[in-house]
Amino acid sequence: MLYVVATPIGNLKDITLRAIETLRSCDFVIAENPGYSKRLLQHIDAWPKEIVQFAEFNEQQVVKELARRMVKGEGCLITDAGTPGISDPGFRLVRECVKEGVQVVPIPGASAAVAALSASGLPTDRFLFLGFLQKTAAKTIGALQAAADTEATAIFYESPERIYKTMGYVANAFPASQVVIARELTKMHEEFIRGTAGEVLEKLKEKTSIKGEFTVLISFKS
Protein backbone atom coordinates (compact mmCIF):
# COMPACT_ATOMS: atom_id res chain seq x y z
CA MET A 1 0.00 0.00 0.00
CA LEU A 2 1.21 3.51 -0.80
CA TYR A 3 0.10 6.48 1.29
CA VAL A 4 0.49 9.86 -0.41
CA VAL A 5 0.98 12.10 2.62
CA ALA A 6 0.78 15.89 2.46
CA THR A 7 3.18 17.69 4.81
CA PRO A 8 3.34 21.33 5.97
CA ILE A 9 4.48 24.00 3.51
CA GLY A 10 6.07 26.01 6.31
CA ASN A 11 4.34 25.97 9.68
CA LEU A 12 4.81 22.51 11.18
CA LYS A 13 1.56 22.88 13.12
CA ASP A 14 -0.30 22.44 9.83
CA ILE A 15 0.38 18.70 9.70
CA THR A 16 -2.82 16.70 10.20
CA LEU A 17 -3.46 14.12 12.91
CA ARG A 18 -4.04 11.49 10.23
CA ALA A 19 -0.71 12.31 8.57
CA ILE A 20 1.11 11.93 11.89
CA GLU A 21 -0.60 8.61 12.60
CA THR A 22 0.19 7.27 9.12
CA LEU A 23 3.85 8.36 9.17
CA ARG A 24 4.32 6.71 12.55
CA SER A 25 2.79 3.39 11.49
CA CYS A 26 4.06 2.85 7.92
CA ASP A 27 7.02 0.53 7.18
CA PHE A 28 9.15 3.16 5.45
CA VAL A 29 9.06 6.71 4.10
CA ILE A 30 9.80 7.74 0.51
CA ALA A 31 11.16 11.28 0.45
CA GLU A 32 12.58 13.82 -1.97
CA ASN A 33 15.11 15.07 0.59
CA PRO A 34 15.87 12.55 3.38
CA GLY A 35 17.74 15.05 5.55
CA TYR A 36 14.86 17.51 5.53
CA SER A 37 12.29 14.77 6.04
CA LYS A 38 14.20 13.35 9.01
CA ARG A 39 13.66 16.65 10.86
CA LEU A 40 9.91 16.42 10.23
CA LEU A 41 9.78 12.82 11.44
CA GLN A 42 11.68 13.76 14.58
CA HIS A 43 9.27 16.64 15.19
CA ILE A 44 6.23 14.33 15.12
CA ASP A 45 7.95 11.54 17.08
CA ALA A 46 8.02 9.19 14.07
CA TRP A 47 11.77 8.60 14.18
CA PRO A 48 13.71 6.36 13.66
CA LYS A 49 12.17 5.30 10.36
CA GLU A 50 13.72 4.01 7.13
CA ILE A 51 13.82 6.77 4.51
CA VAL A 52 14.25 5.94 0.82
CA GLN A 53 15.14 8.82 -1.49
CA PHE A 54 13.00 9.39 -4.57
CA ALA A 55 14.02 12.49 -6.53
CA GLU A 56 14.58 13.70 -10.08
CA PHE A 57 18.11 12.27 -10.25
CA ASN A 58 17.30 8.67 -9.24
CA GLU A 59 13.62 8.10 -9.97
CA GLN A 60 14.18 5.90 -13.03
CA GLN A 61 16.51 3.59 -11.07
CA VAL A 62 14.29 3.06 -8.03
CA VAL A 63 10.67 3.52 -9.12
CA LYS A 64 9.96 -0.11 -10.06
CA GLU A 65 11.69 -1.51 -6.98
CA LEU A 66 9.72 0.81 -4.71
CA ALA A 67 6.44 -0.16 -6.34
CA ARG A 68 7.25 -3.84 -5.79
CA ARG A 69 8.04 -3.19 -2.12
CA MET A 70 4.58 -1.70 -1.71
CA VAL A 71 2.89 -4.88 -2.91
CA LYS A 72 3.52 -6.44 0.53
CA GLY A 73 4.52 -3.45 2.65
CA GLU A 74 3.23 0.02 3.48
CA GLY A 75 5.14 3.08 2.33
CA CYS A 76 4.49 6.80 2.81
CA LEU A 77 5.35 9.17 -0.03
CA ILE A 78 6.15 12.71 1.11
CA THR A 79 7.73 15.73 -0.53
CA ASP A 80 9.81 18.55 0.91
CA ALA A 81 6.66 20.60 1.48
CA GLY A 82 3.01 20.27 0.57
CA THR A 83 1.25 17.56 -1.39
CA PRO A 84 3.42 14.93 -3.15
CA GLY A 85 3.16 14.70 -6.91
CA ILE A 86 2.31 18.38 -7.41
CA SER A 87 5.24 19.76 -9.42
CA ASP A 88 7.53 16.98 -8.23
CA PRO A 89 8.36 13.45 -9.47
CA GLY A 90 6.06 11.72 -6.98
CA PHE A 91 3.35 11.21 -9.59
CA ARG A 92 5.62 8.73 -11.39
CA LEU A 93 5.76 6.50 -8.34
CA VAL A 94 1.99 6.67 -7.96
CA ARG A 95 1.60 5.73 -11.62
CA GLU A 96 3.94 2.74 -11.22
CA CYS A 97 2.09 1.57 -8.11
CA VAL A 98 -1.21 1.70 -9.98
CA LYS A 99 0.35 -0.46 -12.71
CA GLU A 100 1.47 -2.98 -10.09
CA GLY A 101 -1.99 -3.13 -8.53
CA VAL A 102 -0.86 -1.40 -5.33
CA GLN A 103 -3.58 0.42 -3.42
CA VAL A 104 -2.88 4.18 -3.31
CA VAL A 105 -4.38 6.15 -0.42
CA PRO A 106 -4.25 9.98 -0.28
CA ILE A 107 -3.69 11.66 3.10
CA PRO A 108 -4.71 15.23 2.20
CA GLY A 109 -3.27 18.39 3.66
CA ALA A 110 -1.36 21.52 2.74
CA SER A 111 -0.87 22.74 -0.83
CA ALA A 112 0.68 26.12 -1.56
CA ALA A 113 -1.39 26.63 -4.70
CA VAL A 114 -4.75 26.03 -3.01
CA ALA A 115 -3.77 27.91 0.17
CA ALA A 116 -2.77 30.95 -1.87
CA LEU A 117 -5.94 30.80 -3.97
CA SER A 118 -8.17 30.60 -0.90
CA ALA A 119 -6.74 33.86 0.49
CA SER A 120 -6.17 35.68 -2.80
CA GLY A 121 -9.56 37.28 -3.31
CA LEU A 122 -9.40 36.25 -6.98
CA PRO A 123 -12.11 34.10 -8.64
CA THR A 124 -11.96 30.49 -7.47
CA ASP A 125 -14.70 28.92 -9.61
CA ARG A 126 -12.19 28.02 -12.33
CA PHE A 127 -8.41 27.91 -12.06
CA LEU A 128 -5.47 26.51 -14.00
CA PHE A 129 -2.38 25.31 -12.13
CA LEU A 130 0.76 25.71 -14.25
CA GLY A 131 3.49 24.52 -11.89
CA PHE A 132 6.80 26.18 -12.78
CA LEU A 133 6.61 28.11 -16.06
CA GLN A 134 9.09 27.82 -18.91
CA LYS A 135 11.82 30.46 -18.86
CA THR A 136 11.26 32.23 -22.18
CA ALA A 137 8.83 35.11 -22.64
CA ALA A 138 6.99 33.36 -25.45
CA LYS A 139 6.39 30.16 -23.49
CA THR A 140 5.39 32.06 -20.34
CA ILE A 141 2.87 34.17 -22.23
CA GLY A 142 1.58 31.14 -24.12
CA ALA A 143 0.90 29.23 -20.92
CA LEU A 144 -0.88 32.18 -19.34
CA GLN A 145 -2.90 32.79 -22.50
CA ALA A 146 -4.45 29.33 -22.10
CA ALA A 147 -5.81 30.45 -18.72
CA ALA A 148 -6.94 33.80 -20.11
CA ASP A 149 -8.82 32.12 -22.98
CA THR A 150 -10.94 30.12 -20.52
CA GLU A 151 -11.24 32.95 -17.94
CA ALA A 152 -9.49 30.77 -15.37
CA THR A 153 -7.34 32.12 -12.57
CA ALA A 154 -3.76 31.10 -13.37
CA ILE A 155 -1.59 29.76 -10.54
CA PHE A 156 2.12 29.05 -10.79
CA TYR A 157 5.27 28.87 -8.70
CA GLU A 158 8.28 31.13 -9.20
CA SER A 159 11.74 31.56 -7.71
CA PRO A 160 13.10 34.82 -6.27
CA GLU A 161 15.76 34.80 -9.00
CA ARG A 162 13.13 34.96 -11.76
CA ILE A 163 10.18 36.79 -10.21
CA TYR A 164 11.11 40.23 -11.62
CA LYS A 165 11.58 38.95 -15.16
CA THR A 166 8.41 36.85 -15.10
CA MET A 167 6.30 39.72 -13.76
CA GLY A 168 7.75 41.91 -16.50
CA TYR A 169 6.44 39.44 -19.09
CA VAL A 170 3.02 39.47 -17.41
CA ALA A 171 2.87 43.28 -17.18
CA ASN A 172 3.71 43.65 -20.88
CA ALA A 173 1.34 40.97 -22.17
CA PHE A 174 -1.57 41.33 -19.71
CA PRO A 175 -1.41 44.89 -18.30
CA ALA A 176 -5.03 44.86 -17.05
CA SER A 177 -4.76 41.54 -15.23
CA GLN A 178 -5.16 41.36 -11.46
CA VAL A 179 -2.21 39.72 -9.72
CA VAL A 180 -1.67 38.33 -6.24
CA ILE A 181 1.74 37.11 -5.13
CA ALA A 182 1.82 34.95 -2.01
CA ARG A 183 5.30 34.80 -0.52
CA GLU A 184 6.51 32.49 2.26
CA LEU A 185 3.05 31.04 2.96
CA THR A 186 2.44 29.96 6.59
CA LYS A 187 5.93 31.13 7.60
CA MET A 188 7.00 34.04 9.81
CA HIS A 189 7.40 36.47 6.90
CA GLU A 190 4.23 35.52 5.02
CA GLU A 191 3.18 38.29 2.65
CA PHE A 192 0.54 38.96 0.01
CA ILE A 193 1.22 41.54 -2.73
CA ARG A 194 -1.84 42.62 -4.71
CA GLY A 195 -2.62 44.88 -7.67
CA THR A 196 -2.45 45.01 -11.45
CA ALA A 197 0.54 43.28 -13.01
CA GLY A 198 2.35 46.62 -13.37
CA GLU A 199 1.56 47.65 -9.80
CA VAL A 200 2.81 44.38 -8.38
CA LEU A 201 6.01 44.64 -10.41
CA GLU A 202 6.66 48.13 -9.02
CA LYS A 203 6.01 46.93 -5.46
CA LEU A 204 8.55 44.17 -5.96
CA LYS A 205 11.12 46.63 -7.28
CA GLU A 206 10.68 48.81 -4.18
CA LYS A 207 11.96 46.02 -1.94
CA THR A 208 15.64 46.09 -1.01
CA SER A 209 15.80 42.30 -1.32
CA ILE A 210 13.41 39.59 -2.37
CA LYS A 211 13.62 36.12 -0.88
CA GLY A 212 11.47 33.08 -0.25
CA GLU A 213 9.06 30.93 -2.18
CA PHE A 214 6.49 32.54 -4.45
CA THR A 215 3.03 31.46 -5.55
CA VAL A 216 1.68 33.76 -8.25
CA LEU A 217 -2.03 34.06 -9.10
CA ILE A 218 -3.44 35.99 -12.05
CA SER A 219 -7.04 36.78 -12.93
CA PHE A 220 -7.82 37.89 -16.47
CA LYS A 221 -11.49 38.67 -15.85
CA SER A 222 -12.46 42.30 -16.38
In the chain, DSSP assigns E strands to 2-5, 28-31, 50-53, 75-77, 104-107, 127-132, 153-158, 178-183, 191-196, 214-219
Please state, in angstroms and as integers, the Cα–Cα distance from residue 19 to each residue in 60, 73, 98, 130, 194, following that order.
27, 18, 21, 27, 33
Per-residue confidence (pLDDT) for residue 221, from 0 to 100: 84
Element (H, E) at 166: helix 163-173
- State the pLDDT confidence band at 40, using cuts at 50, 70 and 90: very high
| 6 and 102 together in one domain | yes
| 185 and 199 together in one domain | yes
- Final residue in a domain of this structure, among 107, 126, 146: 107
Per-residue confidence (pLDDT) for residue 157, from 0 to 100: 97
Using N-to-C axis directions, what is the helix angle for 137-149 and 163-173, rounded to 10°? 50
DSSP 134: P
- State the pLDDT confidence band at 162, using cuts at 50, 70 and 90: very high
| 48 and 84 together in one domain | yes
Separation between Cα atoms, residue 184 and residue 89, nearest integer Å: 22
- State the pLDDT confidence band at 163, using cuts at 50, 70 and 90: very high
Task: Identify the three-state secondary structure at position 28.
Answer: strand
Question: Which amino acid, 154?
Answer: A
Separation between Cα atoms, residue 39 and residue 23, nearest integer Å: 13
The CATH number of residue 70's host domain is 3.40.1010.10
Strands 178-183, 191-196: parallel, antiparallel or unpaired by DSSP?
A: antiparallel
| 130 and 94 together in one domain | no
> What does the mean pLDDT of the chain come to?
95
Please state, in angstroms and as integers, the Cα–Cα distance from residue 78 to each residue in 22, 86, 137, 138, 162, following that order.
11, 11, 33, 34, 27
- Final residue in a domain of this structure, among 107, 128, 163: 107
| 58 and 94 together in one domain | yes
pLDDT tens, residue by residue, 109-130: 999 999 999 999 999 999 999 9
**What is the domain extent for residue 21?**
2-107
pLDDT tens, residue by residue, 64-103: 999 999 999 999 999 999 999 998 889 999 999 999 999 9
- State the pLDDT confidence band at 197, using cuts at 50, 70 and 90: very high
Mean pLDDT of 41-70: 94
| 72 and 118 together in one domain | no
| 118 and 186 together in one domain | yes
Of 71, 69, 89, 90, nearest to 4 by C-alpha is 90
**In 10 A of CB 2, how many CB atoms?**
28
Separation between Cα atoms, residue 172 and residue 92, nearest integer Å: 36
| 180 and 157 together in one domain | yes
